[in-house]
Chains A and B, each alone.
Chain A
Amino acid sequence: MNRYPLWKNLLIGLILLWGLIYTLPNFYGEVPAVQVSSAKATVKLDPAAATDRVANALREAGIDNQGIFSDATSVRARFAGTDEQIRAKDAIERALNPDPQDPGYVVALNLLPASPSWLTAIHALPMYLGLDLRGGVHFLLQVDMPGALAKRLDSLSGDLRTVLRDKNVRHAGINREGESVHIRFRSEAERDAARSAIQASTADLQLTNRDDGAGDFRLVATLTPQALQTMRDFAIKQNIGTLHNRINELGVAEPVIQQQGAERIVVQLPGVQDVAKAKDILGRTATLEVRMVDDTPGALEQAMAGNVPFGTELYTERGGLPLLVKKQVVLTGDRLTDAQPGFDGQTHEPAVHLTLDAAGARIFRDLTRENVGKRMAILLIEKGKGEVVTAPVIRTEIGGGRVQISGRMSTTEATDVALLLRAGSLAAPMEIIEERTVGPSLGADNISKGFHSTLWGFIAIAVFMCIYYALFGVVSTIALAANLLLLVALLSLLQATLTLPGIAAMALTLGMAIDANVLINERIREELRNGSSPQAAIAAGYDRAFGTILDSNVTSLIAGIALLVFGSGPVRGFAVVHCLGLLTSMFSAILVSRMLINVIYGRRRKIDKLSIGQVWKPGN
């Protein structure tokens, strides 16, 4: 009567086997590795080619490796020890970055799981440890949206001035006041004319009339909700892009840069200890500059010979050609409002479309009118060091603030240049509102403390259960172990971040999970006390306890979900493990323990006594 059908036994067995396989990688530990990834948005890493280059570099340096792995964005090589790892890093660095001043690749030290490749192939990876367990720096950055809005409105005021001048509408002043732009007029007719002119030029503005006494007619322009939303999204995306580029330089193996909420960005740099340098790099500003190229015959040759003419600088164009650029800056990136990849309207060549604000458009029109046939250079200035992004020839006068850069570009290059132009500077200033640094020794301490708490707690419970409930206690302990196994497997599979509160949740969940088995065992004893036969007692015990177990787990789950929804940081780490643990405990406490009991007792026709410890009856 107490038997599971074959499929049910098989299913439970398969799930446990799955749990075992996905838990396995956690036992292998980690080996030192070197990770190579691209340092620039414009340099794409070709995994196959990079793997060859890394392998060659290691062979030439005579360093043995334990396998080279690659994915879409990086190549990683494993080594037997840290000595080889450091020597390999130097060798790879020399081979891939011939010019240390201008590195094309990030070569970083990392740790890779030492699990065999068949486990990695099925995506069985060890649990992803949080910063409090592995050490590193965590920043929470707040993007200054009011600042971004003010910047946008200032540039809009400039645009409005140009629009009104082009349409010959007279106004008495344009000012930004708070989150809106006020345009004053002397007559109602002028205001109406202005309104239609503005509406024809942009759809991003909401216009309302306001009259402040006689002779003061105002038009109040505010951004539409959609435009505001676009602006926010754009600001966050651009800042994340910029942060990515900057962090690449730090040589961090696995940086995490994510949006959190509407206005915040989380940056996590595992293994980084130099907080001052990290902050310096995060807070740096990059600017875009447009300058003219010096085409005077002979000047370039002179500069190459080491005699750079006064007022110019020597740069290397992408592609390696030298270029002499004037020091005078014609236009800066502040005037750039957008950069998008696209195609040339006539030649269908890949191109980058730039949008300048009104003032920028005016400057650019004048510049191009006077310099047809000459070359200009677009430079990205970072850390006081410039890089020529592109140096096109000016073909015609360009007005209207829409600029197209094309010629000798592939589609990927166009996308990258657009990204670089956008990401070169921050869209809005950012402020660090939370910072956490954990030293590597503390991380290791935390792991061992968390591990020991769980281990000793588990042993104490196991010993008690085995003594108090005899064979049923042993079964309960096995079910509890299965629970731990499945929980670790689930965390490894989901790659959810495990933190110290997470380990605490694991321990607590195990402590709470035993409740289900206590309930079942007590129920069976009670049934026996009331005179049921052993087989009937088992069946009734499991059936009756089920409802109670379900109710109590659902209430715990409600608390867990509330923590998951409203918690942040350590609380969320706790809640994730807690919720998953409740789910796995339902499975293991009920199904796994029942399966074992069925295997032990289910096949026997007649049982005299269940091994569930002493069942005391009032009558005795």
Chain B
Amino acid sequence: MEFFRIKKDYPFMRHALVFNVISLLTFLLAVFFLATRGLHLSVEFTGGTVLEVTYAEAQPLEPLREALAADGYTDTLVQNFGSARDIMIRLPNKEGADSNGLAERVMGTLQKASTQPPELRRVEFVGPQVGKELASDGAMALLLVIFGIVIYLAMRFEWRLGVATIIANLHDVVIILGFFAFFQWEFSLAVLAATLAVLGYSVNESVVVFDRVRETFRKKRNMSTPEVLNHAITSTISRTVITHGSTQMMVLSMLLFGGETLHYFAMALTIGICFGIYSSVLVASPLAMWLGISREQFVKVKKEKEEAVV
């Protein structure tokens, strides 16, 4: 079985401008949604209390909301979590309010509100000081990844490829965030981890392509830069699609069997993988071309090496 029966290199670079314009548009759209709607941050970032309760049979939400409001809990969020029997209640932190024993008091309210007894599955309370730290730690992690990868690629390949790669992959990250902002999916710590893992993962793609670019520059002296890029992308496209397909199978399995806790984690990975194929191949390569990579940058390195050996 062979999925890709390619007779000659496909001229990807002829459409470079089109790809970049599409990317720019999606990117701007993502930024627009991030700016206007913002992320629906989980309790880990905002601080507050989350309770997860389960009932023996489906439980309507409205009586619970009314009971909570009657007992003086404002700004509460009551929603189903996975099934009609599982319910998640989110309460914000309040200035001066006693957060200790809050979960027990809420459980008392819930007990009165329904004929069937709720079973407490999970409580999570996060104080206000923790959230800010998490946000700044997340930003620091992102910065470290960006600089680490650019420096590594600059050392192994060429700074132009490093910069092109990181721009292409940051564009993936922004698009993932854009999706989360548009659909108002909950952005939790696990999603942040998935986002950064995607950053590392889709850099793989660019690395594989650029590895080929370097090899082709050295081997085939009569090819122009766009031709080299076309050749590199064409000869790795089979591997790119198969690898992403395999990873996506794993992620799909998480999406199907992982339950509500892993749902958004797997969702972030799915978006990341889909856009990863596109951006690392069709955004990073044109960017590298605009930045002006040429044969001399790669061949020169090789000559130095030979001298060193002799």
A454, B1: Cα distance in complex, Å:
26
User: Which B residues are CB-close (under 8 A) to A613?
Assistant: 1-2
Please state if A548 and B145 are interface contacts (CB–CB under 8 Å).
Answer: no
A565's partner among B99, B126, B142, B144 (CB-CB below 8 A) is: B144
A276, B106: Cα distance in complex, Å:
13
List which A488-534 residues lie within 8 A (CB) of chain B.
Answer: 500-501, 504-505, 507-508, 510-512, 514-515, 518-519, 522, 525-526
User: Which B residues are CB-close (under 8 A) to A526?
Assistant: 235
Query: Is the CB of A134 closer than 8 A to any CB of chain B?
Result: no
A468, B207: Cα distance in complex, Å:
24
Query: Is the CB of A7 closer than 8 A to any CB of chain B?
Result: no
Q: Which residue on B lies nearest to A437, using beta carbons?
A: B123
User: Which B residues are CB-close (under 8 A) to A554?
Assistant: 152
Please state if B1 and A468 are interface contacts (CB–CB under 8 Å).
Answer: yes
Please state if B243 and A518 are interface contacts (CB–CB under 8 Å).
Answer: yes
A393, B235: Cα distance in complex, Å:
91
* Given A275-B104, A519-B239, A552-B208: A436 in contact with B246 (beta carbons within 8 A): no
List which B138-164 residues lie within 8 A (CB) of chain A.
Answer: 138, 140-142, 144-145, 148-149, 152-153, 156
Task: In the complex, identify which listed stretch (B30-38, B60-68, B188-196) lies at the interface while the others stay far away.
Answer: B188-196
* Given A446-B259, A449-B257, A461-B249: A559 in contact with B145 (beta carbons within 8 A): yes
Please state if A515 and B246 are interface contacts (CB–CB under 8 Å).
Answer: yes
Task: In the complex, identify which listed stretch (B19-27, B129-137, B286-294, B299-307) lies at the interface while the others stay far away.
Answer: B129-137
Task: In the complex, identify which listed stretch (B176-184, B197-205, B222-230) lies at the interface while the others stay far away.
Answer: B197-205
Query: Is the CB of A615 closer than 8 A to any CB of chain B?
Result: yes
Query: Is the CB of A467 closer than 8 A to any CB of chain B?
Result: yes
**Binding site of B, secondary structure by majority: helix, strand, loop or mixed?**
helix
Please state if A574 and B247 are interface contacts (CB–CB under 8 Å).
Answer: no
Please state if B211 and A551 are interface contacts (CB–CB under 8 Å).
Answer: yes
Q: Which residue on A lies nearest to B210, using beta carbons?
A: A551
User: Which A residues are CB-close (under 8 A) to B172?
Assistant: none
Task: In the complex, identify which listed stretch (A77-85, A292-300, A426-434) lies at the interface while the others stay far away.
Answer: A426-434
Please state if A616 and B2 are interface contacts (CB–CB under 8 Å).
Answer: yes
Query: Is the CB of A562 closer than 8 A to any CB of chain B?
Result: yes
* Given A566-B138, A569-B189: A140 in contact with B130 (beta carbons within 8 A): yes
Please state if B200 and A614 are interface contacts (CB–CB under 8 Å).
Answer: no
Query: Is the CB of A452 closer than 8 A to any CB of chain B?
Result: yes
Q: Which residue on B lies nearest to A140, using beta carbons?
A: B130
Please state if A568 and B251 are interface contacts (CB–CB under 8 Å).
Answer: no
Task: In the complex, identify which listed stretch (B10-18, B70-78, B109-117, B261-269) lies at the interface while the others stay far away.
Answer: B261-269
* Given A453-B262, A504-B190, A511-B246: A566 in contact with B207 (beta carbons within 8 A): no
Query: Is the CB of B124 closer than 8 A to any CB of chain A?
Result: yes
Please state if A558 and B201 are interface contacts (CB–CB under 8 Å).
Answer: no
A559, B269: Cα distance in complex, Å:
15
Q: Which residue on A lies nearest to B137, using beta carbons?
A: A566
Query: Is the CB of A456 closer than 8 A to any CB of chain B?
Result: yes
A611, B41: Cα distance in complex, Å:
51
Please state if B258 and A558 are interface contacts (CB–CB under 8 Å).
Answer: no
Query: Is the CB of A570 closer than 8 A to any CB of chain B?
Result: yes
Query: Is the CB of B218 closer than 8 A to any CB of chain A?
Result: no
User: Which A residues are CB-close (under 8 A) to B257?
Assistant: 449, 452-453, 456
B256's partner among A456, A547, A574 (CB-CB below 8 A) is: A456
Please state if B1 and A508 are interface contacts (CB–CB under 8 Å).
Answer: no
A450, B190: Cα distance in complex, Å:
14
Query: Is the CB of A439 closer than 8 A to any CB of chain B?
Result: yes
Query: Is the CB of A101 closer than 8 A to any CB of chain B?
Result: no
B309 → chain A, closest Cβ, in Å?
Answer: 18
A434, B246: Cα distance in complex, Å:
38
* Given A501-B190, A501-B265: A508 in contact with B197 (beta carbons within 8 A): yes
A556, B201: Cα distance in complex, Å:
6
* Given A431-B127, A547-B211, A551-B156: A445 in contact with B254 (beta carbons within 8 A): no
Please state if A578 and B149 are interface contacts (CB–CB under 8 Å).
Answer: no
A453's partner among B6, B8, B192, B258 (CB-CB below 8 A) is: B258
A221, B230: Cα distance in complex, Å:
72
User: Which A residues are CB-close (under 8 A) to B239?
Assistant: 518-519, 522
Q: Which residue on B lies nearest to A616, using beta carbons?
A: B2
A272 → chain B, closest Cβ, in Å?
Answer: 12
User: Which B residues are CB-close (under 8 A) to A518?
Assistant: 239, 242-243, 246
List which A289-307 residues lie within 8 A (CB) of chain B.
Answer: none
Q: Which residue on A lies nearest to B52, using beta carbons?
A: A442
Query: Is the CB of A457 closer than 8 A to any CB of chain B?
Result: yes
A431, B245: Cα distance in complex, Å:
48
* Given A449-B261, A616-B5: A433 in contact with B148 (beta carbons within 8 A): no
Query: Is the CB of A441 closer than 8 A to any CB of chain B?
Result: yes
Please state if A559 and B200 are interface contacts (CB–CB under 8 Å).
Answer: yes
A578, B145: Cα distance in complex, Å:
15
Q: Which residue on A lies nearest to B192, using beta carbons?
A: A571
User: Which B residues are CB-close (under 8 A) to A575?
Assistant: 193
Q: Which residue on B lies nearest to A615, using beta carbons?
A: B2
Query: Is the CB of B297 closer than 8 A to any CB of chain A?
Result: no
In the complex, which of the residues A142, A574, A615 has the most CB atoms of chain B within 10 Å of its own CB atom?
A: A574
A578, B208: Cα distance in complex, Å:
20
A331, B36: Cα distance in complex, Å:
63
In the complex, which of the residues A456, A555, A575 has the most CB atoms of chain B within 10 Å of its own CB atom?
A: A555
Query: Is the CB of B57 closer than 8 A to any CB of chain A?
Result: no
Query: Is the CB of A460 closer than 8 A to any CB of chain B?
Result: yes
A436, B130: Cα distance in complex, Å:
14
Please state if A500 and B211 are interface contacts (CB–CB under 8 Å).
Answer: no
Please state if A548 and B126 are interface contacts (CB–CB under 8 Å).
Answer: no
A547, B261: Cα distance in complex, Å:
37
Please state if B122 and A512 are interface contacts (CB–CB under 8 Å).
Answer: no
B261's partner among A439, A467, A500, A614 (CB-CB below 8 A) is: A500
B232 → chain A, closest Cβ, in Å?
Answer: 12
Query: Is the CB of A438 closer than 8 A to any CB of chain B?
Result: yes
Please state if B2 and A559 are interface contacts (CB–CB under 8 Å).
Answer: no
A567's partner among B122, B137, B258 (CB-CB below 8 A) is: B137
User: Which B residues are CB-close (under 8 A) to A437?
Assistant: 103, 120, 122-124
User: Which A residues are CB-close (under 8 A) to B104?
Assistant: 275-276
Please state if B207 and A460 are interface contacts (CB–CB under 8 Å).
Answer: no
User: Which A residues are CB-close (under 8 A) to B266?
Assistant: 504
Please state if B152 and A555 are interface contacts (CB–CB under 8 Å).
Answer: yes
B121's partner among A439, A515, A547, A559 (CB-CB below 8 A) is: A439
Please state if A453 and B253 are interface contacts (CB–CB under 8 Å).
Answer: yes
Query: Is the CB of A87 closer than 8 A to any CB of chain B?
Result: no
User: Which A residues are CB-close (under 8 A) to B252?
Assistant: 457, 460
Query: Is the CB of B220 closer than 8 A to any CB of chain A?
Result: no
Please state if A433 and B126 are interface contacts (CB–CB under 8 Å).
Answer: yes
A594 → chain B, closest Cβ, in Å?
Answer: 18
User: Which A residues are CB-close (under 8 A) to B236?
Assistant: 522
Q: Which residue on B lies nearest to A499, using beta carbons?
A: B190
Please state if A460 and B141 are interface contacts (CB–CB under 8 Å).
Answer: no
Query: Is the CB of A563 closer than 8 A to any CB of chain B?
Result: yes
User: Which A residues are CB-close (under 8 A) to B1?
Assistant: 467-468, 613-614
* Given A464-B246, A514-B246, A616-B5: A559 in contact with B196 (beta carbons within 8 A): yes
A619, B40: Cα distance in complex, Å:
55
A501 → chain B, closest Cβ, in Å?
Answer: 5
Query: Is the CB of A618 closer than 8 A to any CB of chain B?
Result: yes
A558, B169: Cα distance in complex, Å:
14
13 residue pairs A–B, Cβ–Cβ below 8 Å? A275-B103, A434-B127, A456-B253, A501-B265, A507-B251, A508-B197, A508-B250, A511-B249, A512-B247, A561-B148, A562-B144, A571-B189, A616-B2
- Please give me the 9 A-B residue pairs with the lowest Cβ-Cβ distance, nearest first: A559-B200, A511-B250, A433-B127, A457-B253, A457-B250, A552-B204, A566-B141, A511-B247, A558-B148
Which B residues fall within an 8 A CB radius of A? 1-2, 5-8, 44, 52, 99-101, 103-104, 119-127, 129-130, 134, 137-138, 140-142, 144-145, 148-149, 152-153, 156, 189-190, 192-193, 196-197, 199-201, 203-204, 207-208, 211, 235-236, 238-239, 242-243, 245-254, 256-259, 261-262, 265-266, 269
For the complex with contacts A458-B250, A504-B262, A558-B144, 14 further pairs of A-B residues with Cβ separation under 8 Å are A436-B122, A437-B122, A453-B258, A457-B252, A460-B249, A464-B245, A507-B253, A507-B254, A508-B247, A508-B251, A552-B208, A555-B200, A561-B144, A562-B196
